[in-house]
């Protein structure tokens, strides 16, 4: 029931700003933090914090950011033995977070951009998770290896890249947000659940696939073999939405790996993402299993 994540590892330089800067504008930040990030690393942390064995395949550079990221992943319980150390810098993200909790992110790929395709897929893994911040050919190879051993595959097509379209048929589960959905469909995302569900269906690359569209504070809509699952999110005070999608993907993978149904796993993942936005940081904001279960139990009463 192990989760294997193939993806990016970044150090996030997070600056709190009253509002996001416009082009050409200088804005004074009120604070900054160096925090663990990268969509791959974040999703691995989210899964591991659910108490599910999680292994990360990725790369860092030979620098202090790499040391810090390996330590942060290990502390979160993620298996780091297969993370390569490559020449050059570790991936870095400049993250601006406004008082409204909105963000703006610029990434420098560093070692992520040089991540080679894996030779082998970790034995016994139930679910393979990938995103689009590492080379597309390597992601394709990883997902193909996963299929060879019968593991389920989840592709979070973030950020949306034209070349990422070739990966969509390789995934059993595709996760996109509304911006990414619009990018791949080449049209604006329609309003209303019925139209959204139809748009999600249009992204399906093959029979039996799940297409899950995350809707931020409006929850999630998922189209798949079981029909449509539509789950709203709770209204919560938002501090920082960075990594909310990663929390969703990591928790979804963890719960699926444990044998929970898609509907159950989606509900837990939406709830966990709602917890993560109430704290600063990406990986740093991700809830533990105890926090998720306690929060869900309160909802039941
Ligand atoms: O999804 C959030 C992540 O995107 C940040 O942690 C940043 O590193 C970028 O990869």
Q: Calculate how far, in angstroms, residue 200's C-alpha sits from the geometric centre of ligand 1.
A: 24
Decide: 93 in ligand 1 pocket, CB within 6 A. yes
Question: Is the distance from the beta carbon of residue 243 to the nearest atom of ligand 1 less than 6 Å?
Answer: yes
Task: Give the pLDDT confidence score for residue 5 in this predicted structure.
Answer: 98
pLDDT in tens, the chain (301 residues): 899 999 999 999 999 999 999 999 999 999 999 999 999 999 999 999 999 999 999 999 999 999 999 999 999 999 999 999 999 999 999 999 999 988 999 999 999 999 999 999 998 899 999 999 999 999 999 999 999 999 999 999 999 999 999 999 999 999 999 999 999 999 998 899 999 999 999 999 999 999 999 999 999 999 999 799 999 999 999 999 999 999 999 999 999 999 999 999 999 999 999 999 999 999 999 999 999 999 999 987 7
* Cα three-residue angle 293-294-300, rounded to 5 degrees: 90
SS3 assignment, position 15? strand
Give me the residue label for tokens 């999703």.
43
pLDDT tens digits along 270-296: 999 999 999 999 999 999 999 999 999
Q: Please tell me the distance from the alpha carbon of residue 294 to that of residue 226, in angstroms, as a whole number.
A: 28
* Torsion sign (Cα): 5, 138, 211, 128: negative
Contact 37, 243 (CB under 8 A): yes
69 CA distance to ligand 1 centroid (A)? 13
DSSP string, 71-105: HHHHHTTEE-TT-EEESSPPEEEEEEEETTS-EEE
Instruction: Give residue 206's pLDDT.
Output: 92
Bridge pairing between strands 220-224 and 227-231: antiparallel
Exposure string (b/e) for 115-132, b if CB count within 10 Å is 16 or more? bebbeebbeebbbbbbbb
Containing structural domain, residue 70: 2-299
Q: Which two tokens stand for residue 277?
A: 């936005």
Positions marked catalytic: 246
Site to probe by mutation for ligand 1, drawn from 15, 35, 39, 45 as the one with most ligand atoms within 8 Å of Cβ, is 39
CA 199 → CA 115, 168, 176, 207, distances in Å? 33, 15, 12, 16
Closest atom of ligand 1 to 36 CA is: 6
Q: Is the CB of 8 under 6 A from ligand 1?
A: yes
pLDDT at residue 190, as a whole number: 87
In this structure, the residue with its CA closest to atom 10 of ligand 1 is 38
pLDDT digits 0-9 by tens, 86-133:
999 999 999 999 999 889 999 999 999 999 999 999 988 999 999 999
Q: Which of 7, 72, 110, 242 to mutate to test the pocket of ligand 1 (most atoms within 8 A of CB)?
A: 242
Domain total for the chain?
1
Give the Å distance between the CA of 43 and the centre of ligand 1. 10
Q: What is the pLDDT of residue 101?
A: 86
Which of 14, 72, 93 for mutating ligand 1's site (highest number of atoms within 8 Å of CB)? 93
Residue 11 near ligand 1, beta carbon < 6 Å: no
Whichever domain contains 59, its CATH number is: 3.40.1190.20
């Amino acid at each position: 029931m192990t989760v294997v994540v193939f993806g990016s590892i970044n150090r996030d330089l997070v600056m709190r700003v009253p509002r996001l800067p416009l082009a050409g504008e200088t804005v004074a930040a009120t604070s900054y933090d160096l925090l663990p990030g990268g969509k791959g690393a974040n999703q691995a942390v989210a899964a591991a914090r659910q108490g599910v064995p999680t292994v990360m395949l990725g790369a860092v550079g030979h620098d202090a950011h790499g040391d810090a990221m390996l330590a942060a992943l290990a502390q979160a319980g993620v298996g780091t033995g297969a993370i390569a150390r490559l020449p050059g810098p570790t991936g870095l993200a400049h993250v601006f977070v406004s008082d409204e909790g909105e963000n703006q992110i610029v990434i420098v790929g560093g070692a992520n951009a040089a991540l080679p395709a894996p030779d082998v897929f970790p034995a016994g893994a139930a679910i393979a998770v990938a995103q689009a911040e590492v080379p597309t050919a390597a992601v394709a190879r990883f997902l193909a290896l996963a299929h060879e051993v019968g593991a389920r595959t989840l592709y979070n097509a973030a950020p949306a890249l034209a070349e990422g379209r070739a990966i969509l048929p390789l995934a059993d589960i595709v996760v996109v947000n509304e911006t990414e959905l619009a990018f791949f469909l080449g049209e604006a995302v329609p309003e209303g659940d019925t139209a959204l569900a139809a748009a999600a269906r249009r992204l399906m690359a093959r029979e039996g696939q799940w297409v899950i569209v995350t809707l931020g504070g409006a929850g999630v809509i998922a189209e798949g073999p079981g029909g449509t699952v539509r789950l709203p999110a709770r209204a919560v005070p938002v501090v920082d939405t960075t990594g909310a999608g990663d929390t969703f993907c990591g928790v979804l993978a963890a719960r699926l790996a444990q044998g929970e149904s898609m509907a159950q796993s989606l509900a837990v993942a939406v709830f966990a993402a709602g917890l993560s936005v109430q704290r600063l940081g990406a990986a740093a904001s991700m809830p533990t299993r105890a926090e998720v279960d306690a929060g869900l139990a309160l909802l039941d009463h």
